[in-house]
Structure 1
């Protein structure tokens, strides 16, 4: 039976990010669902202060709908979608970037709903929490200070992360492009930036949300490395793969590599779509049946 791809976006993103990929998958004969996690997509907050001309003070203080949204909320929402998708046959859960945190927690809770778990340069925490990985040597090349130059407001006061993706500051824009789409044109970069939403929740999970061998470890899993990713560096991707394999040596990652930056696979999705289509034909490892 044909599987359904369930696509989970990263931070500040939404289901809109996956439209070109879904078109490619559809042309290859595959059905897919792009998820909007709580507070994303049409549930997101775009204040008048975010429009042009911008009101920096208003942007820094306006409330956002994503305040109070937790990882548990994301997981519950995703599980509800997985339950519905599973009624129609096998499910391949594909997570990008921060979406990997939600996918990992959902796999911990309901492995029965997922026939294959695919991370695309995504967080799959095993030994540490996500926040702790940020202090590790593999993340030393990430220019966090430059990225924070576009931050709008105090996260502690707002109860959320807010980034002004519509900034005209050339230094902030250069930092964002270097982090996410250095191999894209300026036009592609600005177009993608305008699909982002300004707000993201603060809950990146904790120790209990790391991958669990007894549940997450039962699911066939693939890691798609993005070779030129600077926001989730290749060294960190490889560490996550290594730790996952050490946790479940009888069920190691099926590993593939795509050229490109953190967002290039979504801007030019044909290679990724072909790879995902190939994964749809893989049988489950015999040790797990």
Structure 2
């Protein structure tokens, strides 16, 4: 059973029993913005959940959650960031049989993709989703950097931000800076071998298909230590080998007068060994210090970095986040 509790303020709403559609959206077309009054009007409408994956991930990770939200009568959107999902690049050397030497140097289109590209894509989705209801923008892990960038651009279109053990830079400029803090020193990522690619490739590359038992053990510890080996293998099979290196180094601090206007929730994963609890708490403290009048609503879940296994737990928390600002 996953532990869940409020550590600051709480809010709630009942589940809805009418079946509506779950929608998977790609790119979006621009529509006009609003102002503070119009933003408040949006926050009074039915929620539409826009979910953003983390590094090396894709929209597949959200599929069980989308299904659960749909069965509860909600609209839900899972985003594939540029260079991910259907647009992902799998190096030839990554295929079977693998060429581990060539894998160190094979170029990837993701080397030219930036956090600004991620944000522009999600802004397009948010613009379309905002026509359907009050946008609850959800990000997991490194997806939090994209949440910051989007909320800095279109805070009037976002009703609520949900950081699922996700990076939320405010005082520290980037994901890399946060991972360089003492609070991140126990991260299991330090024990996860990455492919040593030259900097000019512009990617962080991980061989998730490695047959090395030591690699598998390190990946399990980092992502889902509470799951059986079969479930971890299934998880690794969904991950992509390349991630944009620039996305982890880009300045994505939440701007108080923009990002800081949007109500927000932090889902604090107490068993996370990739983003240690101390680092999660540091990000919460620094964000609250940046906007003392709009502090995180914090929820604690007994979950690893991959999050709760039960999609109903996810849906419960997202419903509470949607209800917190109503």
TM-score, normalisation: structure 2: 0.83
Q: 2:312 aligns with which of 270, 279, 288?
A: 270
Q: Is the 8 A contact 1:16 1:195 kept in 2?
A: yes
C-alpha contact 1:98 1:123 (8 A) present in aligned 2: yes
Identify which of 169, 185, 190 aligns with 1:140.
185
Cα distance, 1:27 vs structure 2:
1.6
Name 1:92's counterpart in structure 2.
136
5+ long unaligned stretches in structure 2: 1-44
Which of the residues 251, 272, 282 maps onto 2:324? 282
Q: In structure 2, how many angstroms separate the alpha carbons of the residues matched to 1:145 and 1:224?
A: 23
The Cα shift of 1:207 comes to 7.4
For 2:198 and 2:254, the matched residues in 1 are separated by 27
CA contact (8 A) 1:38 1:77 kept: yes
Provide the TM-score with structure 1 as the length reference.
0.93
Counterpart of 2:260 in structure 1 is: 217
Aligned to 2:81: 37
**Displacement after TM superposition at 1:51 (Å):** 2.1
CA distance in 2, matches of 1:102, 1:155: 25
Contact 1:8-1:99 at 8 Å conserved across structures:
yes
In the alignment of these two chains, the number of paired residues is 281
The corresponding residue for 2:176 is 131
- List alignment gaps of at least 5 residues for structure 1: 285-289
Partner of 2:245: 202
* Cα offset, 1:143, TM superposition: 3.6
1:217-270, Cα deviation, whole Å (9 max, x unpaired) = 1101011100100100111111111111111111111111111101142x3322
Distance 2:190 2:140 in 1: 23
1:158 aligns with 2:217: no
* Cα distance in 2 between the residues matched to 1:65 and 1:205: 16
Change (3 A) 1:194 1:155: farther
Q: How does 1:233-244 map to 2 (within 5 A)?
A: 233-244=276-287
1:206 deviates by: 5.6
Query: Residues of 1 paired with 2:97 and 2:191: CA distance?
Result: 23
C-alpha distance in 2 between matches for 1:159 and 1:220: 34
SS in 1 for 2:112: coil
Aligned to 2:22: none
Equivalent-residue separation in structure 2 for 1:213 and 1:204 (angstroms):
21
- Residues 61-118 of structure 1: CA distance to partner in whole angstroms, max 9, x if unpaired? 2222211101111111110111111111210000000000011011111101100001
CA RMSD in angstroms, aligned pairs only: 1.5
